Amino acid sequence: MVQITINKQQIDVPEGTTVLRAAEMAGINIPHLCDHKELTPYGGCRLCIVEVQGIRVPMASCTLPVSNGLVVETETEALKKSRQFVLSMLFSERNHFCPFCQVSGGDCELQNAAYHEEMTHWPIQPGWSDFPVDTSHPYFVLDNNRCILCRRCVRACAEMAGNFTLSVAERGAKSMIVADTDIPLGESTCIKCGSCVQVCPTGALIDRTSAYQSHDKNLQEIKSVCVGCSVGCSIKIMVRDNRIVRIEGNWDGAVNHGAMCEHGRYHESNENRVRITTPLMKKNGKLEPVSWDEALSAVQEKMTKEGVAALASTRLSAETLAAFKDLFESKLHSKLVTSIEEGVPTAAVAKFAETHEGFEGKLDALKTADTVLCVGANVNRSHMVAGFLFKRNLNAGVNLINIDPDETSLDEVARVALKPKAGSDHLLILALQAVIAKEELERKSLNIKDADARIKKAIAETGISEADLTKAARMLAHAISPMIVFGKGVTAQRDEKLIEALYQLAVQVGAVDGERSNILSLKGEANSQSAALMGLDQPFNPNGEKVTYLAVGDDYVSKKLVEKTSKAEYLVVQASYESKLTEQADVVLPVSIWAEQEGHYINLDGRMRKTEKAVNAPENVRDNLDVLTELAKRMKLTLDADWKKSIRERKSSVALN
Amino acid sequence: MTKPKISSDWMCGCAGCHMSLLDMDERILKIVELADLRATPITDLKEPDASGVDVGVLEGGINNTANEEVAHKMRERSKILVALGDCAVFGGVPALRNFCGVEAALRRAYVEAESNEEGSQIPNDPELATMTQTRAVHEVVSVDYNVPGCPPDPDVIFYVLSELAQGRKPELKDELLHWH
């Protein structure tokens, strides 16, 4: 710890802390614009200047590390004058006229800074140069006229999303934020995560949907967890008048620390599907609105002992999934009770976990990994924030090896991209082990006897050259902290032998040893892991059941599921949105969406988190769990499943915490 | 003791700041009690007294030669000059035309705009004032108090006028400081 004095207040802070952050810890706010707590200090705006005893000129506190005995003043008349000057220069650069700017009135850090320095006007008028406005992006607008060149967006793009799309073109006063090689944002390599918008201190980057809808002070902020996928990002749902205005990454939350992906930030709040707001029942071949009582009575009557084929979305809460399992499996003794993902992302892993409980590691290890092996895991398409954690380090020398039969955008940033022919990835993994063994690079020997044969077979059947194979194997074996991430490309094969091969590879290169276990599967939807732990992971193959009950909630429905249930004798669909599935249903029960309910979720590395209710559901729509409970009650059954117990029924592949 | 004299005028603005002044409702009686409200756009006198006033208030920016005259006259005849509202303080919305230039703005308004009749021209009567770049008041004459806001809140206007009328210096900060 280092002791420093700020505004006569003595505080102890860890070594390496900047004066700006140290002041914050002491509850002292030093005005700043370019600095952001989740980004590397940049020292560009000079607003955070402070007086340091013994130093002649004011120092930028955002880049000044603390040292023992440092004496700092943050609010003197001289500093105020200097800050007013810094702000005057900023205002003189571009179009910072407030009255028609969407962030004016509390949401603009530049304006707030001017208020803090009690500026009533600009001593220097602007130079009236016109800068480009880029409106090509589907989710936000880049107005360079409002930009103060703090480069927060550039840093967020690189340091949070690891995408390196934004940069600065030109020099001096003409400097401009551009995408890639100065092409329209909408046509650039932008992955639409919106991190840049979230960090922009002015109105230079504005969100299309939420612009002009409300000042932040009028928004209700509900801290919750994203249910877009199994990463489980911490989010803030910004609500006004029972409407989601915007979703933001929660800087102080676990997992993502503010970062979000396109899906979580934009898709979950911009819903285009048609909401179902009343129970529906098929009468004379047509779905007609009915009362809840009529709908539930009809369903209850049909749920005979002859068995129900039941399927639930893995976007539902653990509480709901446990009740679902309790009702259909324990109480109604159905043979076919599963989840919408049918165990595709989890079943093989769960099976392997029976002998290797808790073999998977933690997501955070990706932040410090020096070599990442992705196998059938396209983190540019799903589970994007997991990808951010290592992609942001790729420019700093982190190696990415990508194994995927398909061409993906991840190949572009990979040092080695291996494309095994479909179905041959097992051979490839075994061959990687063989090369590492043969070259005596093993951290732990796997006692491989047939190395040459494995390599030969892999070269013949995977379509991968010996050079690429060797390069990948060496890269992985030489890593100091390697990490293996695998996704649906692997788990969809339901082959636990393949999981075992990956695990052994991890052991062989030291990714898994006594201290760490740097191997992780991406899983699927938000509650994939809960469903897996409850055993809701068998393939959905109806076999003459009289009733089919699909609790899909607000999930998307696959064509396959629609086909599989098209011949169902009696189809009950518990859903939030209209779909091909609800069209063919006999009864449709309208239920709440993710933001209208609360419940627990287990993310891909075993974190148990609770989502919060942010908005109220429409009048005649019920909670997913309540519908199941009510149905059971009508059948004189009491649902008594405890989700916390239900998830302990099987051994978990990840440690739960 | 005679009451301090207050006079106001408007230039390149929208009259919104004077509307906001009226929006202080019954408190305007308090202002009248404290000060002698002389020439303003809302009273009958049309020019600040030649003998001078204590406080002159200007709304709007300066975007032609006529406004320049108004500003200079108000400055010459006022002990204290107040720039009221974002246009007077910064140039405001009319200053946006500075980004394209006077010519382009006039052409757009009088010739190109969809509502113009065929063959419309930019007015060029020699009696008309000459258009200039839009400027904040402090770019043309010295200003003693800048009161930003679009418009400034009635509370802010009341505070500024009542302080000045009572010989005190208004301090705009915290809740009273808004640029909008």
Question: Does B16 have pLDDT greater than 80?
Answer: yes
Contact assessment for residue A214 and residue A239, using Cβ atoms and an 8 Å cutoff = no
- A414-429 tens-digit pLDDT: 999 999 999 899 999 9
**The token pair that represents A184 in the structure block:** 């329209």
Please give the Cα distance from A279 to A298 (Å, whole number): 11
In eight-state DSSP terms, residue A137 is S
pLDDT under 50 in chain A at which residues? none
The range of the structural domain enclosing residue B143 comes to 5-96+131-176
SS (H, E, C) A578-630: CCHHHHCCCEEEEECCHHHCCEEEECCCCCEEEECCCCCCCCCCECHHHHHHH
Please give the Cα distance from B163 to A165 (Å, whole number): 53
Question: Does B144 have pLDDT greater than 90?
Answer: yes
Taking Cα atoms as reference points, which of A206, A540, A213 lies closest to residue A344?
Answer: A540
Is there a domain that residue B102 lies in?
no
**Residue B75: other Cβ atoms inside 10 A:** 18
Name residues 125-154 of chain A within 8 A of B (Cβ).
125-126, 128-130
Q: What is the pLDDT of residue A307?
A: 83
Phi, psi of A482 (to 5 degrees): -80, 155
**Residue A235: other Cβ atoms inside 10 A:** 30
Q: What is the pLDDT of residue A117?
A: 96
Taking Cα atoms as reference points, which of A578, A605, A417 lies closest to residue A522?
Answer: A605
CA dihedral (A267, A246, A340, A331) in degrees, to 10, reads: -160
Instruction: Tally the domains of chain B.
Output: 1
Taking Cα atoms as reference points, which of A574, A565, A573 lies closest to residue A543?
Answer: A565
Chain B residues whose C-beta sits inside 8 Å of any chain A C-beta:
83, 86, 89-93, 95-96, 98-100, 135-136, 138-139, 143, 145-148, 150, 172-174, 177-180
**The token pair that represents A130 in the structure block:** 């016109």
Counting every residue, how long is chain B? 180
- Reported ipTM: the value is 0.94
What is the topology classification, in CATH, of domain A109-267?
A: Alpha-Beta Plaits (3.30.70)
Please give the Cα distance from B165 to B47 (Å, whole number): 20
How confident is the prediction for chain B on average, in pLDDT?
Answer: 96
Given A98, A126, A128, which is nearest B180 (Cβ)? Answer: A98
Binary contact (A122, B90; C-beta < 8 A): yes
Q: In Å, how far are A19, A502, A521, B113, B153 from A529, measured between CA atoms?
A: 43, 20, 11, 62, 56
The CATH 3.10.20.740 domain(s) of chain A lie at 2-75
Is there a domain that residue B76 lies in?
yes
Is there a domain that residue B108 lies in?
no
Please give the Cα distance from A107 to B1 (Å, whole number): 47
Which positions in chain A touch B86 (Cβ < 8 Å)?
A: 97-99
What is the topology classification, in CATH, of domain A347-521?
A: Dimethylsulfoxide Reductase; domain 2 (3.40.228)
Taking Cα atoms as reference points, which of B50, B33, B62, B23 lies closest to residue B156?
Answer: B23
Binary contact (B172, A115; C-beta < 8 A): no
Helices A292-302 and A624-634: crossing angle in degrees, nearest 10, is: 60
The CATH 3.40.50.740 domain(s) of chain A lie at 280-344+528-646
Q: 């399992």: which residue's tokens?
A: A325
Contact assessment for residue A204 and residue A147, using Cβ atoms and an 8 Å cutoff = yes
Please give the Cα distance from A349 to B85 (Å, whole number): 67
Phi, psi of B117 (to 5 degrees): -80, 160
Q: What is the pLDDT of residue A439?
A: 96
Given A105, A111, A121, which is nearest B89 (Cβ)? Answer: A121
Binary contact (B99, A115; C-beta < 8 A): no
Distance from CA of A107 to the nearest CA of B (A): 11
**Residue A428: other Cβ atoms inside 10 A:** 26
Taking Cα atoms as reference points, which of A171, A191, A172 lies closest to residue A180?
Answer: A191
The CATH 3.30.70.20 domain(s) of chain A lie at 109-267
Q: What is the pLDDT of residue A270?
A: 87
Binary contact (A105, B99; C-beta < 8 A): no
Domain boundaries A2-75, CATH class = alpha beta
Binary contact (B180, A128; C-beta < 8 A): no
Please give the Cα distance from A104 to A112 (Å, whole number): 9
End-to-end CA distance of chain A: 30
What element of type H or E holds A551?
A: strand A547-553
Q: How far is CA A458 from the centre of its chain?
A: 35
Which positions in chain B touch A122 (Cβ < 8 Å)?
A: 90, 136
Q: For A99, which residue in chain B has the nearest alpha carbon?
A: B180
| Residue type (1 letter), A300 | Q
Q: For B179, which residue in chain A has the nearest alpha carbon?
A: A98
In eight-state DSSP terms, residue A517 is B
Taking Cα atoms as reference points, which of B171, B30, B176, B10 lies closest to residue B88?
Answer: B10
Q: Which of B81, B99, B135, B153 is the mutation pick for testing A, counting most A CBs within 10 A?
A: B99
Output the domain CATH number for residue B51: 3.40.50.700
Please give the Cα distance from A134 to A329 (Å, whole number): 55
**Residue A461: other Cβ atoms inside 10 A:** 15
Phi, psi of A598 (to 5 degrees): -120, 160
Is there a domain that residue B119 lies in?
no
Distance from CA of B142 to the nearest CA of A (A): 11
Q: What is the pLDDT of residue A304?
A: 72
| Residue type (1 letter), A35 | D
What element of type H or E holds B58?
A: strand B53-59
**CATH number at A280-344+528-646:** 3.40.50.740
**Residue A191: other Cβ atoms inside 10 A:** 21
Given A115, A122, A128, which is nearest B98 (Cβ)? Answer: A128
Q: What is the pLDDT of residue B1?
A: 64
Please give the Cα distance from A314 to A252 (Å, whole number): 26
Burial class of residue A552 (count of CB atoms within 10 Å of its CB; 0-12, 13-18, 19+): buried
Please give the Cα distance from A532 to A529 (Å, whole number): 5
Helices A318-325 and A624-634: crossing angle in degrees, nearest 10, is: 20
Name residues 107-126 of chain A within 8 A of B (Cβ).
111, 114-115, 118, 120-122, 125-126
Q: What is the DSSP string of B133-165?
A: EEE-GGGTS--SEEE--SSPPHHHHHHHHHHHH
In eight-state DSSP terms, residue B111 is I
Binary contact (A114, B179; C-beta < 8 A): yes
Given A99, A104, A128, which is nearest B93 (Cβ)? Answer: A99
**The token pair that represents A624 in the structure block:** 């997913």
Binary contact (B179, A111; C-beta < 8 A): yes
Binary contact (A111, B89; C-beta < 8 A): no
User: Is the minimum CB–CB distance between A99 and chain B shorter than 8 Å?
Assistant: yes
Q: In Å, how far are B74, B147, B156, B165, B167 from B54, measured between CA atoms?
A: 11, 17, 19, 8, 10
Q: For chain B, how many helices (H) and strands (E)?
A: 6, 7
Which positions in chain A touch B92 (Cβ < 8 Å)?
A: 97, 99
Which positions in chain A touch B95 (Cβ < 8 Å)?
A: 97
Q: Which of A121, A122, A133 is the mutation pick for testing B, counting most B CBs within 10 A?
A: A121
Given A97, A115, A118, which is nearest B90 (Cβ)? Answer: A97
Question: Which alpha helices (H) appear in A257-326, and where do they start and end?
Answer: 262, 292-302, 318-325
Binary contact (B150, A99; C-beta < 8 A): yes
Q: What is the pLDDT of residue A461?
A: 96
Is there a domain that residue B36 lies in?
yes
Please give the Cα distance from A576 to A473 (Å, whole number): 48
Is there a domain that residue B142 lies in?
yes
Pairs of residues, one from chain A and one from chain B, whose beta carbons lie less than 8 Å apart: 61
Binary contact (A95, B99; C-beta < 8 A): yes
CA dihedral (A197, A203, A204, A210) in degrees, to 10, reads: 40
Reduce the DSSP state of residue A21 to 3 states and report it: helix
Q: Which of A94, A111, A128 is the mutation pick for testing B, counting most B CBs within 10 A?
A: A128
CA dihedral (A486, A489, A491, A495) in degrees, to 10, reads: -110
